[in-house]
Structure 1
Amino acid sequence: MEQIFALFTIFLAFAFSGRCSDDFSRYDFPDGFVFGAGTSAYQWEGAATEDGRKPSVWDTLCHSRNQGNGDMTCDGYHKYKEDVKLMVDTNLDAFRFSISWSRLIPSKILQEPHLRISNACKLTTGNEPYVTLYHYDHPQYLEDEYGGWLNRLMIKDFTAYADVCFREFGNHVKFWTTINEANVFSIGGYTDGLTPPGRCSIPGRNCLSGNSSTEQYIVGHNLLLAHASSSRIYKQKYKDMQGGFVGLSLYFLGLIPSTSSKDDYIATQRAKSFYTGWMLGPLIYGHYPDTMKRIVGSRLIRFHRSHTLSCGFCHKHQIQTFSVREPKFLLRHGLTKLFCICLNKYAVAPWAMEVVLEYIKQSYGNPPVYILENGLSLFSNLSLLILSESAHQFSCQCEQIGIPMKQDSQLKQKDTPRVEYLHAYIGGVLKSVRNGSDTRGYFVWSFVDLYEIFGGYEVGFGLYSVNFSDPHLKRSPKLSAHWYSDFLNGKTAFLGSQGIAELQSNLSLNSY
């Protein structure tokens, strides 16, 4: 019990430690530390039917549920030169984007590699391209033919697709991500049915098929094997010539116990095993966490001795922070073996960045980490996330705790809360680096306003706003774009009324 109280005290120390400093610059980071911003193909490109592109599972899900879509979005496919110029103006070191599998290989026959993709890779050199191979959007024909990621055939097809990308674009790309947010994709797409391809068996959800009890584990396993296979191809065929690196992207939550109770501590450890250890355990140690093996049992596929997994480097996505508590109804009914937890969201908690990076350092041998997505929507009302282990089709019910954020039309351009957010989180990264974390890069999500899977065109994560009512989809810098540009240009990052007023004055002078 003393150990639990000691750990809880450490979490509180992080929570109330404050900012790394109110006064820091990019030059306080190690040489070679990369700052950038990101997008993804479906959310940024548009041009959904041009140049032979065929539907992906993301297209299918959006059109079947009438929840908005990325058919046009901000038209990055045609406006990429304009966006690259904005990246140069913003002083980005790097640009993170993904390649659309269903555009490059719209059928079983490979099309001529697209000039726009190749040009985007070339143009962003200088703004170093960080390319993701898969961002929730495999071709619909593979889903129709054999079930996509539920079938081992997908490992072979993904490896062939990765091989094409390495061959065609590898001379301009040194940093590859195989799978985007592998843990979230498995849960969202096959447990909750909220993200592509939208499969689940939860009553009341708009899922036409699926099995929430088993499919996420099958898919997660196949994703890990696909990552390993494509990484092996790169090492064998391309690394000596191209000198690049291959990594896997995971979404991390900052998880801390709600109280100092033993139950909440155990629930937090269980959540970490299922959410983080699920993927990092096999990559670092070659097997799933013991907690998962015990709870999931035979539904969790074991790795064969011939399977060689490697992290290479890990991509960390961290946007949301939660305190964890054990649901009381589980305790009353003796159901603590279920993976079911209640998560209460913190709107902004930069100390959680330190908690997560320290956890990776201590628990997984301090692998290289790039933070590929970190950002803030000023129009979000998401307050609760429920992860459930539905082995017995047991519904996990937690109270909803609303944390509405201020709705203000002026926030879209003069987005002071986003400036404060970036300042605080980058400061947290700096503190972690000084404490020994091997974190090597930080990317803002997103570079411009995009189509978002939750919130469509209303949430606006971008440094640059997009006027979606304008036929030309005009881009305009927000206050946060000016702040980030100044920071990347070496200006000391200092917040205060005078600093904010200066930024707002610059925004008024430079608006177009």
Structure 2
Amino acid sequence: MWKKFSSTITIVFLILCAAANSIVKASFEDEVDIKRSDFPDGFLFGAATSSYQIEGANLEDGRSLCNWDVFCHIKGSIANGDSADIAEDHYNRYMEDIEILHSLGVDAYRFSISWSRVLPNNSKFSAGIEPFVTIHHFDYPQELENRYGGWLSHLMQEDFVHFAEICFQSFGDRVKYWCTINEPNLFSEFAYERGTYPPAHCSPPFGNCSTGNSDVEPLIAVHNMLLGHAKTVKIYRERFKSEQRGVVGIVVHSFMYKPLTEDKRDKEAADRALAFNIAWILDPVVFGDYPPEMRHYHGSELPKFASEERIILRDSIDFIGINHYATLYAKDCIYSSCICNDSSCTKGSDRAIRGFVYTAAERDGVPIGEPTGMARFFVVPRGMEEIVEYAKKRYLNKPMFVTENGYSSPLNKVEDYHHDVKRINYLKSYLAFLARAIRNGADVRGYFLWTLMDDFEWVNGYSVRFGIYRVDPQTLNRTPKLSASWFRNFLSNCSLNYVESCNSISLMNTDESRAQSE
């Protein structure tokens, strides 16, 4: 199985490496006219996916069950009873998807490696034009959960390092950009605080799970993830970097937070929210320890790093990966009561694990921005500039990549897949504010659109659509939306107001296109 799989990946790399040698008025901000030439030379533009969300083929070629395989088949876990058993069948249709990437003209492709496929029983790989590889994106072998409790155990650190080492050995000659772990902050929140991701641990008031401690377990899980990251980077730098000459970073989920009112306490709450969500991950890998804000409020509940652990943690990233979609309001819960009374807030705001901060997307019943298909993802383009500026200042302008940014179509509305204008407006507006942050000195080196195609969006199943390509649920045919045309023309620096005026890609589905060319 491994020989077949490795050969497949080699073919993918050869094909993609060979490829390496405004339409409507924006409704989210003032009209913007953004061009590729507004970004620096050498800036990487790409699309992003993750293995579990698109691959399918969950039992092919010796792949073992992962945590999500098991979770998806627990009744009530996933919207509409969906699963990723087949997903977009990328595992068998990857050549077609590479053709799509070629047609878009992207510089790079961010994807993840399926831990369960590389190590079927605790022994894969996707591909890219310039490969930008995430080693761990939420999925891991169920065996590790059964054996010792996954990320709640220090044993997971060593298994992760072993997995990463195999990835470096097998693919490091072709991969120059590595992300160790995707969104440790978000995964720990959903898996160990809210209990909506596997292993579904939580406690009141966050949820009613059969097991878990929402106040403590997220801290333990992140602690193990950070040490797994640091040990992985140490091995890469000592054993592989001199020959492979790659760089390694970590990816953080990054809401921007704005004070709910002009009150000083709400302004402090917004700063605290940033520390408890973003600095929680980035302070240790830049400075070697948790943010002082967290240490102050968590006390002994926050794990401590030993002196030798702080040494390997400090400066253990070459770049910061920022996944940014939206901005939320923040309200202080230390000196005032906080009651979650709308769909955009989360319970437990008056707890230390939440930084004693109430976050929501509404103020006096008025949303912070235009709603999307995700409950807390409201459109606030200026947040892109603000979150980049925050990272620039706090982390001394460490190189950054926007590793995810994209628009989910509103739920329960029929989307015209050939005319997804709101997605185009979203992308234009967010890119415009990113370009402004770069002009103001932020060292941002790339941008990855989420996502290439409609996929399995975790607990939302297939009800949330982020893709610039539609995937027919019956035939799995890929059909470009208007946003795919816009993105392709943006990448070719077409600055005309209407996509139709540019040399855009065909809007026929991939099967029709292939038939006409034969």
What is the TM-score with the length of structure 2 in the denominator? Answer: 0.82
**1:92 partner amino acid:** V
Which deviates further from its counterpart, 185-194 or 320-329? 320-329
1:235 to 230, 234, 237: 237
Residues of 1 paired with 2:264 and 2:435: CA distance? Answer: 32
Matched, 1:63 2:104: no
**Cα 1:335/1:424, change in 2 over 3 Å:** closer
Alignment of 1:324 onto 2:338: no
Secondary structure (helix, strand or coil) at the match of 2:209 reads: coil
The whole-number CA distance in structure 1 between the counterparts of 2:504 and 2:385 is: 33
Q: 1:506–1:75: structure 2 CA closer, same or farther, 3 Å change rule?
A: closer
1:375 corresponds to which residue? Answer: 406
Task: Give unpaired runs (5+ residues) of structure 1.
Answer: 1-15, 381-406
Inter-CA distance 65–294: structure 2 relative to 1 (3 Å threshold): farther
| Residues 140, 509 of structure 1: alpha-carbon distance in 2 compared, 3 angstrom cutoff | closer
Look up the equivalent residue of 2:382 and give its one-letter code. Answer: W
1:477 aligns with 2:508: no
Match of 2:260 in 1: 258
State the match for 1:37 in structure 2.
47
Letter in 2 for 1:166: F
Given residue 80 of structure 1, which amino acid in structure 2 is its aligned partner? Y
Query: Do the aligned partners of residues 27 and 298 (structure 1) sit closer, same or farther apart at CA in structure 2, a change above 3 Å counting?
Result: same
SS in 2 for 1:162: helix
Post-superposition CA distance 1:113-164 (Å, at most 9, x none): x5xx3xx43xx3xx11111110111111011101111111111110011000
Cα drift, residue 208 of structure 1:
2.6
For the residues of structure 1 that align with 2:317 and 2:49, how far apart are their CA atoms? 23
What is the aligned partner in structure 2 of residue 389 from structure 1?
Answer: none
Alpha-carbon separation, structure 2, partners of 1:142 and 1:178: 18
- How many corresponding residue pairs? 452
What displacement does 1:190 show? 0.7
- CA gap 1:465/1:336 in 2 versus in 1, 3 angstroms: closer
| CA displacement at 1:37 relative to structure 2 | 0.5
What is the distance in 1 between the residues matched to 2:157 and 2:334?
41
Q: Which residue of 2 aligns with 1:414?
A: 419
Contact 2:350 2:358 in 1 (8 A): no
Note if contact 2:47-2:108 (Cα within 8 Å) is conserved in structure 1: yes
Letter in 1 for 2:478: R
Give matches, 1:302-317, under 5 Å: 302-307=304-309, 308-309=312-313, 310-317=316-323
Aligned-partner SS, 1:224:
helix
* 1:490 equivalent in structure 2: 493
Contact 1:379 1:458 (8 Å CA) reproduced: no
Question: What's the counterpart of residue 430 of structure 2?
Answer: 425
RMSD: 2.5
Cα distance change on mapping 1:206 and 1:501 into 2, 3 Å:
farther
Retained in 1: the 8 A contact 2:350–2:356?
A: no
Q: Counterpart amino acid of 1:343?
A: A
- Which position in structure 2 is the counterpart of 1:212? 214
Contact 1:327 1:342 in 2 (8 A): no
Matched residue, 1:466: 471
* Equivalent residue in structure 1 for 2:445, among 432, 440, 443: 440
Structure-1 separation of matches of 2:104 and 2:237: 34
Change (3 A) 1:287 1:506: closer
- The amino acid that maps onto 2:159 is D
Q: Tell me the distance in 2 between the aligned counterparts of 1:37 and 1:348.
A: 20
Unaligned runs of 5+ in 2: 1-26, 340-348, 362-367, 370-377, 513-518
Residue matched to 2:23: none
How far is the alpha carbon of 1:501 from its aligned partner?
6.4
Change over 3 Å in CA distance of 1:504–1:243 after alignment to 2 = closer
* Equivalent residue runs for 1:262-273 within 5 Å: 262-273=264-275
Given the superposition, is the C-alpha separation of residues 54 and 86 from structure 1 closer, same or farther in structure 2, using an over 3 Å criterion? same
**1:483 and 1:503 in contact (8 A); partners too:** no
Q: Aligned partners of 2:502 and 2:266: how far apart in 1?
A: 43
2:387 is the counterpart of 1:356: yes
What is the alpha-carbon distance in structure 2 between the residues aligned to residue 179 and residue 303 of structure 1? Answer: 19
Aligned-partner Cα distance in 2 for 1:339–1:369: 29
User: In structure 1, how many angstroms separate the alpha carbons of the residues matched to 2:350 and 2:210?
Assistant: 29
CA distance in 1 between partners of 2:94 and 2:507 (Å): 26
Question: Quick one: structure 1 residues 163 and 510, their matched pair in 2 at CA, closer, same or farther if it must change by over 3 Å?
Answer: closer
Counterpart of 2:420, as a letter, is: D
Q: C-alpha displacement at 1:207, in angstroms?
A: 2.6
Structure 2 residue 61 is the aligned partner of structure 1 residue 51:
yes
Amino acid at match of 1:365: L
The CA distance in 1 between the partners of 2:305 and 2:187, in whole Å, is 20
Do structure 1's residue 343 and structure 2's residue 345 form an aligned pair? no
* Aligned CA distance change for structure 1 residues 313 and 508 (closer, same or farther; 3 Å): closer
Shift of 1:272: 1.1
SS at match of 1:409: coil
- Indicate the residue corresponding to 1:169 in structure 2: 171
Q: 2:91 aligns with which of 55, 59, 77?
A: 77
Give distance in 2, aligned partners of 1:317 and 1:50: 31
Corresponding position of 1:193: 195
Q: Secondary structure at the match of 2:307?
A: coil
Partner residue, 2:246? 244
CA shift for structure 1 position 25: 1.7
**Equivalent residue letter for 1:101:** W
Q: Does the aligned pair in 1 maintain the 2:254–2:324 contact within 8 Å?
A: yes
Question: In 2, Cα distance between the equivalents of 1:507 and 1:321?
Answer: 35
Q: Which residue of 2 aligns with 1:285?
A: 287
Quote how far apart the aligned CAs of 1:329 are.
Answer: 8.5
Quick check: 367-376 or 303-312, which moved more? 303-312
Report if the CA contact (8 A) 2:325-2:406 is conserved. yes
Instruction: Tell me the CA shift for residue 413 of structure 1.
Output: 2.6
Q: Is the Cα–Cα contact under 8 Å of residues 330 and 336 in structure 1 kept in the other structure?
A: no
Q: Is the 8 A contact 2:55 2:90 kept in 1?
A: yes
Quick check: 2:477–2:509 contact (8 Å CA) kept in 1? no
Q: Deviations over 1:278-301 (max 9, x none)?
A: 111112221111221121111101
Distance in 1 (alpha carbons) for counterparts of 2:227 and 2:463: 36
Q: Distance in 1 between matches of 2:337 and 2:207?
A: 27
Q: Paired residue for 2:109, among 88, 91, 95?
A: 95
Normalised by the size of structure 1, how large is the TM-score? 0.83
